[in-house]
Structure 1
Amino acid sequence: MSSNSTNTNSTAATGGTGPSSSGGKSSTSMVIPNNETFAALFGLSLLFVIVFFAVLTVPRLLASLHHQRGKAFFREGWLLKPKKSAAARAKDALRRSVFLPPAQPTRQPTLRRGLVTSPAPFANDIDYSDEGHGVPASASVNIEGGGARPMSVAEEEGKYPAHLRTLVRHHREVRSAGAPAHVPSTSTILRSLPFAPWFSRPFFPNHVDGASNGQACMYLLYAAGFIVVAFLMTSGTGNLKRSGWLVIVQTPLVVSLGSKNSLVGFFLGRGYEKINFFHRWMGQLMFIASLYHVIGYLILWIRRNVEARQSATHIEAWAAFAGFAMIGVFSLPVFRRSSYRLFFNAHWIGYLTYLIAICYHVEEALYWSLATFFILGLDYICRLFKSHFTTVTLTALPDFGATRIEVPRLTRGWKAGQHVRLRAFTFKLGLFAFAEAHPFTIASVSETRNGQGVILYVKSAGNWTKKLYDAAAEPGKGGLENGNGTFLNFNASLASLETLGREEAAEGKGPALDDEKGLPAAATTSTRTLVGFGSGTTMKMVVEGPYGGPCGHMMRSSFTSSFVVAGGSGITYGLSVVEELIRDVEKLQSRTRLIGLYWIVTDPACLIPLLPTLTSLSNRVSYIPTLRFTLTVHYTRAVSPAFSAKVKSLPGGGLPRDIHLEPGRPNFKTAVEDFVKWKTNRLARGSDGLSGVLVGICGPGALARSVREGVDALDDDLRRSVGGVEIEEETFNW
């Protein structure tokens, strides 16, 4: 809020922004850059920091582009796309290489992958669990870093029947040749340095959603640089002008950090939700600087007894500050978490007011405002291209307390773990429902062979999601329950599939098989019909995305094992990640050999609606000789008799062999150590050894913190023996 009537000579002497300030000299004859130059240099230094972190991701980017799967991996994750044409799908089918086990070692693979009664050839493969850590004497020799002695390749092959060993050896060799190269992250490489683990620990140990020590250091360094630049080589009104210029110059960067299609996020290989923390911190300091600028000039005018005249003269300055203050006040957590609509509307009204008014207040600010408008325009153009107005199918899942959303038209273009934003065009969710965009993680994988589209599971928690659930549960619109609450179709659908496979196996004629799910293709044509979801309710929505995903061009299939933890509705992340890992193994383009999925829920009945999907994943893994998958469901509420009756009535009289129920909350220090030390560490090492453990987390902040503590407790020698341990986190607090 600098005064346009300020004397030019005095402005130059204090480092002001007047026309002669760039050529003004101090009493020591030293040239002092003007305030805009100081602020621009500070902004340029921030860009150099961004470039530095972007360079750290280049090795992984090159590795992903070098690998055949990596090229597709890099192309995915930008735009949702409809199903390919029949000709394009036929062409892709010729290029695919899916593992099919043979009936005899001397014959070509002929074993059908339908639902038959006989067990899969690898259903009882190597058991890495070692119940109670009771390792046999031949395998109990400890190595440095703890854990049992790793098996040799010959020992691992010896676990299989003789007629399958040649097949297992061939599968391992082909998989190793097509697997992506594993490039450790920078944090894994620097882990051995002194004090390196300290940066990943929470800055406030008792605060669930607090920043890590590394983030706190970034905050403090930025704040220190901000303060130094604001007061360096200036005094008096020069300080006030400098603080204003710091706000103006950093506006394009702070807007880029907060936009959904961020240029900064593109170069860093991170979604907007991963860099939003620094957007908030920059905005808070910029608001403080603008407040200092305004209060400083008010005090100056009061001392000169010209506050009334100057305030009336600088209406545009008050408008700019009002816009910035609106953003700052309604960005406080109390408003952002309780009323997102108020927070969002205050944001766009505030920054439009600020960007326009600041150009009238300071003429040189026009270029910075235009740069900001360019970034905003690019973001909204990308959103437009990423948006699809389509029909979705809603199905109420009473046991899960959620709504299943299926978008059959969009079948490819996303990565596992990414999310989309939904806008509903219906009055059932409110008069202005179309103005609200809600993010939800995709639970399905891209480009499945049965043409399955985007699948979402929306937990009925807030006002919007409860209305969505009520719309899906309208009488006569399908669902998992009928009017009196009787469970209708689930068991029948599984039983009918098993009966279909048994009858066709007896007759010697195999159904058309879907290689992605290991089920008859006819049964997978409609997923809702398969699991008894009924016809469902249709609704018009805009599906925008995808956003988020793996950080730093990481490829999950380059890790030897994956430990995935999901809390509640975070199972959507777990399902997509696990299915993508299995798909890559089936295509012989993965190093993954062990997958563990932990799901923490309050009621074990949440498992019922997802059993068909989980059974399908288990069925597919049973045909892969060198892959092990287990799911452990931890529940905190007592098991109801109704749930027990449903489980007993399932085909086979219980849950699949790879799905386990455990009461109470898990101890992740023990669970992570067990997975890394007693399971991953015992895997047979090939010529390239083990390539690391990926720990994926999706759930509340408290859950993520518990898992991080379990990972931090791992011994450094044990980490090195398995190739490093990395964390991928998708929390609910952004």
Structure 2
Amino acid sequence: MSSYGTPPSIPSALQQYNSYVEDPKWQRKFSAIWAAVAGVAILLSLPHLIRSLRHGGALRGLFGVSESIAAQRYATIGDADVKPRTRRRTFYGLVETVSSLFWWTVPAVGLTLGQLLLVAGYLVAVIVCITTDAPLVTNPNRAGFLALAQFPVVYLLGTKNSVLSLLLGPGNGYEKLNFLHRWAGRGMLIGGVIHGALWIRNHLEFGLPILGQQKETSGVASLGVLCGITLFSLKPVRYYFYQFFFISHVLGYVSFTISICYHTEYAWTWVYPPLAFYGLDMLLRLFKYRIKDATLVPMDQNMTIIHVHDCTKGWQPGQHVRLRVFFDGRIFESHPLTIMNAPSPVSCVPSQTLSLAAKAKGDWTRALNAYAVEEQARLLGSEKGEQPGIPVQVMLDGPYGGCSIDLGRYESAFLIAGGSGATFTLSLLDDIIARCVKFGRPGNERTRRIEFVWCIQSYGCINWHAQMLTDLATAVAGTSLDLHISIFVTCLCNPDAVPTIPNSDVVLLRPTIGNLLHQFITPPTEEEIAEQPKLSWVGLGGGVAVCAAGPESLTTETRNAAAKLSLTKGLELGGLGLHTETYAL
């Protein structure tokens, strides 16, 4: 048998590009990039997660709110001495000062410098993986493969019970990762548009039908649905037409997932992980659903307080729930509301309820307030007039979110809120006062001084939370913890409606947060001490915690002011921790 020798090899320059071999390699490279970044974030958050696990906060709320029949978590022993500062605080201060570089926020964009860097890095990774060594004009499959590779990212960052959120620790819930979810969706759109537009161009150039065959028809349908999802997810649509956004989003991602699987058999590999993420989210949400009796208390025409009964544990300060109230046929609408009290066993104002506040701003909250006002007027005219509030049934989904910093690790805490954002800072205030005063600092809490700032539009708004602020201020009186409450009113409306709250000031002024922070860390002069002998000052070096909640303008100003202060005086202060909650869609 004759041999013809070794067959000749084709030069690489003349080899035909095989996208079904080469493009999946770039899918894996892209997946390795984002997985590595997520791994680094988890490693950096590991100390925070370990501390939360040690104190029981990381797993609190994992299976929803509940009623406790056991004893209190802490024994009431009264006020205790503050622990001395340690070298660990100095190390934390250095880390926090360096990290404050990434707090700067561009007002028009609404993203911090750190978030902008993450978004830019993500989009660069997508574009580089699409374009490197790829003949996109003649074979644009690479862009389609990269669009598929972003399926796990979009679902991982979009589910409420995300594995990534759990590993990053409390305060890093879905609402904090949602900006990456939106930009990952836009990255998927970039890949889909490049892939679809270039294939349509090629079909037109060679006279091939664009519609008719299953592959082409399902591909055009997938691209149209993806464009619709992105268009209907823009901020104006979310803000003005939220229910339309929500319904279109749910129908859209289901339709897109189905159509893309008809378009290409290579989609299945990238659809399985999202299905697993979504299945885990649905499973955990089943554990978090509760149907409870509740009472609606209309404070005025702009605020409704909701007391959900038989709820004493299962959440941590700063968390929120999605609330569904069964009234007037609105059983399909649920809205996020922040819990404004700490769990009853560890609260300064213990009760058997979970308290929420719904400001009458949107259609649902206005309808809820109108229903409560009308029902209250009806009950007052009947023999049930002595009944406090309006009884209803509600469904809870949660809790979610939380605060990413522990106020007990700082000697000074600055809490600022705008409008209904006070529910977030009130829960933090309730928790830290109870830990420091009522339970004798069980976790070696170092907090000695708290400034609570609330910015509202009228004097009448103070009554929304006047009773709770009074109870908290009374609990602090005569202890080693110094609490001062500053209420800034931006509109001269009904000045006679100001309630008496201990150790508080009510000022008709729109404050500058940078000035407030500077005043907070500036020690009093000898003249001020002479005028106010009881004026306290804890000094510097023990760290300052700054928490802000409210509209985007307030949180943006707070982040920029805190970043400036941390970079200039961070080490002197012993570090500055920051957490912000933006009340925006």
What TM-score do the two structures reach when normalised by structure 2?
0.87
The equivalent of 1:673 in structure 2 is 518
Asked if residue 96 in structure 1 is aligned to residue 96 in structure 2, the reply is no
Asked if residue 201 in structure 1 is aligned to residue 104 in structure 2, the reply is yes
Offset, 1:191: 3.1
Asked if residue 664 in structure 1 is aligned to residue 509 in structure 2, the reply is yes
The equivalent of 2:312 in structure 1 is 411
Secondary structure of the residue aligned to 2:19 is: coil
2:272 aligned to which of 357, 370, 395: 370
Q: Does the Cα contact within 8 Å between 2:49 and 2:167 map onto a contact in 1?
A: no
1:117-516 superposed matches below 5 A = 171-172=80-81, 175-176=82-83, 189=95, 191=97, 198-202=101-105, 204-205=106-107, 207=108, 210-236=110-136, 240-269=140-169, 270-308=172-210, 314-398=216-300, 401-426=302-327, 428=328, 431=329, 433-448=330-345, 450-476=350-376
2:29 aligned to which of 36, 41, 51: 41
The equivalent of 2:454 in structure 1 is 599
Identity %: 27
When residues 697 and 238 of structure 1 are mapped into structure 2, their CA distance, relative to the original with a 3 A threshold, is farther
Letter in 2 for 1:200: W
Between the aligned partners of 2:15 and 2:483, the Cα distance in structure 1 is 70
Asked if residue 54 in structure 1 is aligned to residue 42 in structure 2, the reply is yes
Asked if residue 712 in structure 1 is aligned to residue 571 in structure 2, the reply is no
Cα displacement string for residues 173-230 of structure 1 (whole angstroms, at most 9, x for unaligned residues) = xx52999975966x951635xxx7553222x45x2x5222222222222222211110
RMSD (Å) for aligned C-alpha atoms: 3.0
1:73 aligned to which of 40, 50, 57: 57
Q: Does the Cα contact within 8 Å between 1:188 and 1:726 map onto a contact in 2?
A: no
Q: Does the Cα contact within 8 Å between 1:301 and 1:310 map onto a contact in 2?
A: no
Between the aligned partners of 2:386 and 2:473, the Cα distance in structure 1 is 21
Letter in 2 for 1:220: A
When residues 188 and 534 of structure 1 are mapped into structure 2, their CA distance, relative to the original with a 3 A threshold, is farther
Cα displacement string for residues 454-503 of structure 1 (whole angstroms, at most 9, x for unaligned residues) = 10010001110011001111244689xx78xxxxxxxxxxxxxxxxxxxx
The equivalent of 1:82 in structure 2 is 66
Offset, 1:617: 0.5
When residues 388 and 10 of structure 1 are mapped into structure 2, their CA distance, relative to the original with a 3 A threshold, is farther
Offset, 1:656: 3.4
1:564 aligned to which of 415, 422, 427: 415
Secondary structure of the residue aligned to 1:331 is: coil
The equivalent of 1:542 in structure 2 is 395
Offset, 1:725: 1.1
Secondary structure of the residue aligned to 1:210 is: coil
Secondary structure of the residue aligned to 2:316 is: coil
Offset, 1:307: 2.4
Offset, 1:534: 5.0
Offset, 1:14: 2.0
Between the aligned partners of 2:370 and 2:86, the Cα distance in structure 1 is 46
When residues 639 and 340 of structure 1 are mapped into structure 2, their CA distance, relative to the original with a 3 A threshold, is closer
Offset, 1:295: 1.0
Q: Does the Cα contact within 8 Å between 2:210 and 2:216 map onto a contact in 1?
A: no
When residues 424 and 12 of structure 1 are mapped into structure 2, their CA distance, relative to the original with a 3 A threshold, is farther
What TM-score do the two structures reach when normalised by structure 1?
0.70
Q: Does the Cα contact within 8 Å between 1:425 and 1:539 map onto a contact in 2?
A: yes
Letter in 2 for 1:46: W
When residues 382 and 309 of structure 1 are mapped into structure 2, their CA distance, relative to the original with a 3 A threshold, is closer
Q: Does the Cα contact within 8 Å between 2:100 and 2:566 map onto a contact in 1?
A: no
Letter in 2 for 1:572: T
Q: Does the Cα contact within 8 Å between 1:179 and 1:558 map onto a contact in 2?
A: no
Between the aligned partners of 1:254 and 1:322, the Cα distance in structure 2 is 18
Q: Does the Cα contact within 8 Å between 1:63 and 1:181 map onto a contact in 2?
A: no
Between the aligned partners of 1:222 and 1:715, the Cα distance in structure 2 is 28
Cα displacement string for residues 56-82 of structure 1 (whole angstroms, at most 9, x for unaligned residues) = 11122333444xxx2x22332323332
Greater gyration radius: 1
Q: Does the Cα contact within 8 Å between 1:15 and 1:238 map onto a contact in 2?
A: no
Between the aligned partners of 1:592 and 1:387, the Cα distance in structure 2 is 35
Letter in 1 for 2:325: A
The equivalent of 1:133 in structure 2 is none
When residues 604 and 242 of structure 1 are mapped into structure 2, their CA distance, relative to the original with a 3 A threshold, is same
Secondary structure of the residue aligned to 1:392 is: strand
Offset, 1:683: 4.5
Between the aligned partners of 2:110 and 2:563, the Cα distance in structure 1 is 17
When residues 385 and 477 of structure 1 are mapped into structure 2, their CA distance, relative to the original with a 3 A threshold, is farther
Which shows bigger deviation, 717-726 or 453-462? 717-726
When residues 447 and 543 of structure 1 are mapped into structure 2, their CA distance, relative to the original with a 3 A threshold, is same
The equivalent of 2:579 in structure 1 is 728
Q: Does the Cα contact within 8 Å between 1:478 and 1:533 map onto a contact in 2?
A: no
Between the aligned partners of 2:369 and 2:432, the Cα distance in structure 1 is 31
Q: Does the Cα contact within 8 Å between 2:299 and 2:463 map onto a contact in 1?
A: no
The equivalent of 2:531 in structure 1 is none
Offset, 1:718: 3.0
Offset, 1:288: 2.2
Q: Does the Cα contact within 8 Å between 1:403 and 1:459 map onto a contact in 2?
A: yes
Question: How many residues in Structure 1 have an aligned counterpart in Structure 2?
Answer: 553
The equivalent of 1:617 in structure 2 is 472
Q: Does the Cα contact within 8 Å between 1:477 and 1:535 map onto a contact in 2?
A: no
Q: Which runs of 5+ in 1 are unaligned?
A: 1-8, 23-33, 101-170, 484-531, 648-654
Letter in 2 for 1:201: W
Letter in 2 for 1:40: R
When residues 188 and 254 of structure 1 are mapped into structure 2, their CA distance, relative to the original with a 3 A threshold, is farther
Q: Which runs of 5+ in 2 are unaligned?
A: 1-11, 526-534
Letter in 1 for 2:95: I
Offset, 1:250: 1.2
The equivalent of 2:487 in structure 1 is 633
When residues 462 and 357 of structure 1 are mapped into structure 2, their CA distance, relative to the original with a 3 A threshold, is same
Between the aligned partners of 1:709 and 1:733, the Cα distance in structure 2 is 18
Cα displacement string for residues 505-564 of structure 1 (whole angstroms, at most 9, x for unaligned residues) = xxxxxxxxxxxxxxxxxxxxxxxxxxx99521122221111011122xx32211111100
The equivalent of 1:63 in structure 2 is 51
When residues 716 and 35 of structure 1 are mapped into structure 2, their CA distance, relative to the original with a 3 A threshold, is closer
When residues 268 and 310 of structure 1 are mapped into structure 2, their CA distance, relative to the original with a 3 A threshold, is same
Between the aligned partners of 1:720 and 1:446, the Cα distance in structure 2 is 34
Between the aligned partners of 2:368 and 2:14, the Cα distance in structure 1 is 60
1:14 aligned to which of 12, 17, 24: 17
Q: Does the Cα contact within 8 Å between 2:153 and 2:184 map onto a contact in 1?
A: no
When residues 627 and 326 of structure 1 are mapped into structure 2, their CA distance, relative to the original with a 3 A threshold, is same
Offset, 1:601: 0.6
Secondary structure of the residue aligned to 2:202 is: helix
